[in-house]
Amino acid sequence: MVRATVERDCAFRLRIAYRLPRPASLEELDEVIEGEVRLDAFSRLVPGARDLFRFMISDVSLATGSVGGAELVVSYGKLGVDASPVDQQDFEAFLEATYGAVQFHSMVD
């Protein structure tokens, strides 16, 4: 099961934190990655730190997570640009197929 927490980013865009049942893997996520993956190798610089990855799932929607971490945070849309509802639908369909049903446990208007 994927546990989803709905928030707003600071430009009032929809932001959802997805808690996966196991650590995220870039190989598994490859299907939804649009363009390049930006990887910051924090673990080589700071003891205990995890490497950060960022990638787009569409032109305007950004996913961020860490290697070995089980949380993926997706911002749908960005300052000045709305996201299509398809971004969320497609991404959650992928999560469901890969990690299990997506269950929302809180909402912010």
Residues forming contacts to other proteins in the complex (CB under 8 A) are: 7, 9-12, 15, 26, 33, 35-42, 44-52, 59, 62, 64-66, 69, 71, 73, 75, 78-81, 108
Gap between the Cα atoms of 86 and 90, Å rounded: 6
Q: Which is nearer to other proteins, 6 or 102 (CB)?
A: 6
Q: Which is nearer to other proteins, 60 or 99 (CB)?
A: 60
Q: Which is nearer to other proteins, 22 or 80 (CB)?
A: 80
Q: What minimum distance in Å lies between the beta carbon of 35 and other proteins?
A: 4
Residue length of the chain: 109
Q: Which helix (H) or strand (E) holds 63?
A: strand 62-66
